[in-house]
Amino acid sequence: MAFFAMVLATGVLFVVGAGLFILLIGIILDIIWRVRKKKEKNVPTALKVFAILLTILGTLQGIVPLILFVGTGISSKIKYRSEVSSLPKDSIIYMDDYSDIEDQFDFKGKHLIGVNYKPNNILTPAEDNEDFKTETAGAIIFDNGKHYLIKKIQNDTNADIYKLGLIYDPYVPEDEYDELTDYYLNKAPLYCKYNKTPADELKTIDNIDSERIRSIRDYVINNEGGYDSSNDNSFDGYLYFYSKDTVYYINLNYYESDRGLVVEYNGKYAVVSDEDAAYLKSLK
């Protein structure tokens, strides 16, 4: 990461330096133009054209990037002051480089791991859900002055579940991962939204039987009937179940068949009982 940053910085400096050199030539030609004009001498058209073009090109290539760089630096300092300066010292972590984070880091005495890519991970917060909320808990500051905010995801159990805006999100204490997984997989109350087609607006469904939904989920996983995905675009209903904090969710889609109601979960298909079918179809 540091090597690529150095290469990028070198490239930017080269472009800006070349732009300033071109601008200097344009200014020199412009001075020659003005001097010749003042002495009432004929000014070649080529001189005028090159003076104008090189001045414009040099400004765009040399001056504009400098202005943007300075502006970005000022903006970064303002953002830093507004986001980080008020945080307690014990909530700020200092690191040399981005690569020092990767999928784990220590924060407030706990070793946090990024779980997004763990096999069979189910802690996948739905950030586009209106119930997804965070609060700033700390920050990671790097040697180059950049920083990541450590945001705690507000959740049912007030557990330490954090996001940095990285591909490994969320981060949780390593020794609490199994307990959190068990809670959301088997215990967290579920809420529901429904639409008949993906294009329809989601409708909120109240009074969900969470245990029944989990039993249907488990049944589909363990009794997959080998149905293919040919009906993916013609489901009769789309049910989106989620924990109140959106850390965990279950998508159940279904369609009618000559053998009964086929339910799809995570690419697995199974025909459910008449009672479960009636319950799912009642959620509208």
For the chain, the structural domain boundaries read 2-83, 89-184, 190-282
Grade residue 228 by pLDDT with cuts at 50, 70 and 90.
low
Close Cβ partners of 52 (under 8 Å, ≥ 6 residues apart): 26
Which has the higher per-residue pLDDT, 183 or 3?
183
Measuring CA to CA, how many Å separate 150 from each of 18, 108, 163?
40, 12, 6
Mean pLDDT of 109-133: 92
Grade residue 31 by pLDDT with cuts at 50, 70 and 90.
confident
In terms of Cβ atoms closer than 10 Å to its own Cβ (0-12, 13-18, 19+), residue 18 is middle
Mean pLDDT of 151-168: 93
Which has the higher per-residue pLDDT, 236 or 26?
236
pLDDT value at 129 more than 90: no
The pLDDT, as a whole number, for residue 61 is 78
Q: Tell me which residue has tokens 């675009």.
A: 233
Mean pLDDT of 123-128: 91
User: Among 284, 264, 147, 258, which residue's Cα sits nearest to residue 217?
Assistant: 264
Mean pLDDT of 111-120: 93
pLDDT value at 102 more than 50: yes
pLDDT value at 21 more than 90: no
pLDDT value at 1 more than 50: no
The pLDDT, as a whole number, for residue 71 is 59
Q: Tell me which residue has tokens 């400098």.
A: 66
The pLDDT, as a whole number, for residue 139 is 93
Query: Rounded CA gap, 221 and 184, in Å?
Result: 17
Grade residue 112 by pLDDT with cuts at 50, 70 and 90.
very high
Q: Would you give the distance in Å from CA 173 to the centre of its chain?
A: 21
Q: In terms of pTM, does the model score above 0.85?
A: no
Tokens, residue 163: 């996001």
The pLDDT, as a whole number, for residue 6 is 62
The pLDDT, as a whole number, for residue 229 is 54
The pLDDT, as a whole number, for residue 57 is 83
Q: Tell me which residue has tokens 């086929």.
A: 262
pLDDT value at 199 more than 70: yes
In terms of Cβ atoms closer than 10 Å to its own Cβ (0-12, 13-18, 19+), residue 38 is exposed
Grade residue 146 by pLDDT with cuts at 50, 70 and 90.
confident
Mean pLDDT of 270-278: 96
Q: What average pLDDT does the chain have?
A: 86
